[in-house]
Amino acid sequence: MSRQDGAAAGAPGEDAQAIRARLEELAARLAYHDQRYHADDAPEIDDAAYDALRAEYRALAQRHPALVADDGPESRVGATAAEGFRKVTHGIPMLSLDNCFATADVADWLDGIRNFLIELRDPTVPLELCCEPKIDGLSCALRYEDGVLVRAATRGNGSEGEDVTANALTLDEIPRRLAGSGWPELLEVRGEVYMSDADFLALNEQQAATAGKRFANPRNAAAGSLRQLDPAVTRSRPLRFFAYALGEVSRPFAHTQQGIRASLAAWGFRLNEPARHCTIHGQELAALVDYHDELERRRADLGFSIDGLVLKVDRLDLQARLGFVSRSPRWATAWKFPPEQAHTHVEDIVCQVGRTGRITPVAHLRPVAVGGVLVSRATLHNADEVARKDIRVGDLVVVQRAGDVIPQVVSVVPAARPADSRPWSFPQHCPACGAGLRREEGDADTFCPGGLTCPAQVQERLSHFVARHALDIDGLGERNIALFIAKGLIHGPADIFALESRDGTGIGPDGQRLPPLAEWEGWGAQSAARLFEAIRRARHPGFERFLVALGIRQVGEATARLLGRHFISIGALFACLDRLLAGDDEARAALLAIDGIGESLVSDLADFYREAHNRDTLAALLEAADGRAPWLEVADFIVPVAASVVAGKTVVFTGTLSRLSRSEAKAQAESLGAKVAGSVSARTDFLVAGPGAGSKAAKAAELGVTVLDEDQWLRLIATAAASGPAPAAAPD
């Protein structure tokens, strides 16, 4: 589809290129925050800010469906399973819930159910709901065979999770063998691993006393404790489990959600209480509102953290008919609580620098208790937010813990403002490295482009540099990066590649010579050798991995893949940026001509390359390559999009392929710039059909889609590849 076609999918005059770029930016930000919340157990933004990002993405996606990627946020749940755990494929996906924030949202959800089920359109027909507290923990699926626990898995990305069986067996509230009788031969029980409020406070006190990691909230503590590679660590943590749903079962044993709860209790599971059965007549929501208000009043006394309630259609047959939409069930929703609030004074406003260089103003507050937590700092988000609320040092402010995670300032109390108050000014330079701050027109955030050379960013940036999706240096995670920085051995990425050659010769912060790594506490000859071998392997990354590793704003795996299709090497890309910074309009046009690359991304690439510190880092990485310049090598060369006759085309594979696996065929098509879809539609350009093609071939014939057999497809892409490796933009 052309850009003009894309623009036609939305309102007249809207710029499809800008919309596509914004969708990609939002998708990247949502993926990053999903990873921080679900996989890293370290959220950086509150629930409200995350929900706002998703709402913006959803609104744009609905108005411009032709510009939406197949693997966008609406098709994704949670985050990928972490390294170190065996992967588990869920027979029935573990999806997330849509959110309601007000009574009107709940009414809309109920209207959707009544409109979907024809027999409920009559408002006199009651709708039965099962209502439960929404536990703030880590979702877990327990598989029982003949009454014995055989596997426990986290939700992961909804389709694939982590095998945490050994850890789950250390929890007293997870039955190893089901009690009673009548359970199916196969029973998958789903619920939440959580930590009580008292146990959470005690754990953080213990962590502080032993200089361990302090957790932001009970949810993070529970998730981090269950997802330990050493079950002994999990055993030492006070984890609990609530059961509330089913996955796979070999035979039905209940007709309602209430019946499921009764059976689970009889078989030895603890349930999330207080639950309630509510009957809804028409639009009368008094019963639901009463339950919501009761839970909100009692939440501080429950002994565990909840952030709302869950509403479920009680009858299982209606649940099955309602099914799912996108990443959520139609038959259930979460009704979130508003955040708790308190008053306190702003003692200072200080800017912090995040991993990607985002500058966040933070209010230092006179400590105040909010929702049972002592709050002394609150995020002010960005310069516009400070100006809009006119927050100043000395102000009396209303503070809340949004999503019960990250405190934020809601508003100022103007009547209490000091007479000598002055407006606060946002700094012009990075408080950590002094680089000039950047803020793009129309962007709410301000960034430091210092990147890998900014002291405030270096630890997080280096952790990103060596991460699995970047250079993938096994054994050099956040903890060891911090250790090597503290020992003075690593200041930037090039230092990583000198660790082996400098082993045993470094000078520590105390001025004493450091012993070889194999002699350090917690290390040994084998672990040191494994690390050095992983570093040697990382000297030869592909184009995409290296570009992702640099941590350039907005450049994730998808964007790196786009650039990799158009530039023969990293050198070619940065030669293009050299010309762009020199004012060459052709270089800018070459970047903007790439479908999916917009002005915002070009600006971020230029900002990164404009900083002398970043160019010095690139030069140091080349020097670390021992003169062989592997950073400029093209690993797994990808034919430039402009040279491929299938670039921009939508391809569907069906039937049995004899010369290629389905995975290889898909990867090959994508490397040539094609988009691979799972079903045939009017937007499909090619259907590659092997024996047993079935209904997809019939649909293609009906729509006039070009149908190729496997040999024809291979001849077509051979023609595409034969055009040679000339870059589509920016020569060397």
Per DSSP, the chain holds a count of helices (H) and strands (E) of: 25, 23
Q: Contact 650/674 with Cβ under 8 angstroms?
A: yes
**Number of Cα atoms under 13 Å in the Cβ half of residue 124:** 0
Residue 731 in tokens: 């020569």
pLDDT (tens digit per residue) in 39-59: 555 666 666 667 777 777 777
3-state secondary structure of 308: strand
Residue 52 in tokens: 């706002």
CA distance to 134, 307, 317, per residue, from 106 (Å): 15, 16, 21
Q: Is 400 exposed, middle or buried (0-12, 13-18, 19+ CB in 10 A)?
A: buried
pLDDT (tens digit per residue) in 659-686: 766 766 776 777 677 788 888 888 899 9
Compute the chain's Rg from CA coordinates: 28
Q: How many C-beta neighbours within 10 Å does residue 392 have?
A: 18
Q: Is 548 exposed, middle or buried (0-12, 13-18, 19+ CB in 10 A)?
A: buried
The DSSP symbol for 215 reads: P
pLDDT of 604 reads: 85
pLDDT of 405 reads: 55
CA distance 619 to 632: 12
pLDDT of 705 reads: 92
pLDDT of 640 reads: 40
CA distance 449 to 552: 9
What percentage of the chain carries pLDDT values higher than 70?
84
| Phi-psi region at 192: left, alpha or beta (left = phi > 0; alpha = psi -120 to 50) | beta
- What average pLDDT is seen over the chain? 81
pLDDT of 240 reads: 94
3-state secondary structure of 278: strand
- Identify the band that residue 271 occupies on the pLDDT scale cut at 50, 70 and 90: very high
Q: Contact 399/365 with Cβ under 8 angstroms?
A: yes
Q: How many C-beta neighbours within 10 Å does residue 660 have?
A: 18
Residue 45 in tokens: 């933004």
Q: Measuring CA to CA, which residue among 511, 517, 513 is closest to residue 496?
A: 517
Q: Measuring CA to CA, which residue among 542, 614, 545 is closest to residue 578?
A: 614
Q: What is the pTM of this model?
A: 0.47
The DSSP symbol for 117 reads: S
Q: Measuring CA to CA, which residue among 245, 90, 76, 231 is closest to residue 155?
A: 90
CA distance 92 to 109: 24
The full 3-state SS of 8-34, as one line of letters, equals HCCCCCCCHHHHHHHHHHHHHHHHHHH
The DSSP symbol for 39 reads: I
pLDDT of 612 reads: 81
Q: Measuring CA to CA, which residue among 42, 23, 38, 51 is closest to residue 157?
A: 38
Active-site annotation holds for 134: yes
pLDDT of 7 reads: 34
Q: Which of 134, 336, 649, 675 is catalytic?
A: 134
Bridge-based pairing of strands 373-379 and 358-370 is: antiparallel
Q: Measure the N-to-C terminal CA separation of the chain; round to a whole number of Å.
A: 31
CA distance 569 to 543: 7
Q: Contact 446/356 with Cβ under 8 angstroms?
A: no
The amino acid occupying position 408 is Q
CA distance 156 to 527: 28
CA distance 674 to 690: 19
Residue 515: pLDDT over 80? yes
Which domains are present in the chain?
A: 3-76 (1.10.287.610), 99-336 (3.30.470.30), 341-416 (2.40.50.140), 436-638 (1.10.150.20), 641-721 (3.40.50.10190)
Q: Side by side, which strands form the sheet with 686-689? A: 675-677, 650-654, 686-689, 706-708
DSSP states along 505-556: T-B-TTSPBPPPGGGSTT--HHHHHHHHHHHHHTTS--HHHHHHHTT-TT--
Q: How many C-beta neighbours within 10 Å does residue 678 have?
A: 10
Residue 534 in tokens: 């992983």
Phi then psi for residue 362, to 5 deg, are: -125, 130
DSSP states along 136-203: -SEEEEEEEETTEEEEEEE-TTSSEEEB-HHHHTT-TTS-SB--SS---SEEEEEEEEE-BHHHHHHH
pLDDT (tens digit per residue) in 431-480: 888 888 888 777 788 888 777 778 778 887 888 888 888 888 988 888 88
Q: Contact 294/276 with Cβ under 8 angstroms?
A: no
CA distance to 74, 100, 405, per residue, from 48 (Å): 17, 12, 10
Residue 332: pLDDT over 80? yes
Angle CA 568–675–645, to nearest 5: 60
pLDDT (tens digit per residue) in 683-716: 899 999 988 888 888 898 899 999 999 888 888 8
pLDDT (tens digit per residue) in 301-331: 788 888 899 999 999 999 989 988 767 899 9
CA distance 523 to 35: 29
Residue 555: pLDDT over 80? yes
Sequence-ordered list of residues with C-beta below 8 angstroms from that of 177, at least 6 positions apart, any chain? 147, 148, 149
pLDDT of 184 reads: 95
Top mean-pLDDT range of 170-174, 217-221, 548-552: 170-174
Residue 369: pLDDT over 80? no
| Residue ranges with strand state E in 281-357 | 306-313, 324-325, 328-329, 332-336, 341-353
H helix or E strand, kind and range, residue 399: strand 396-402
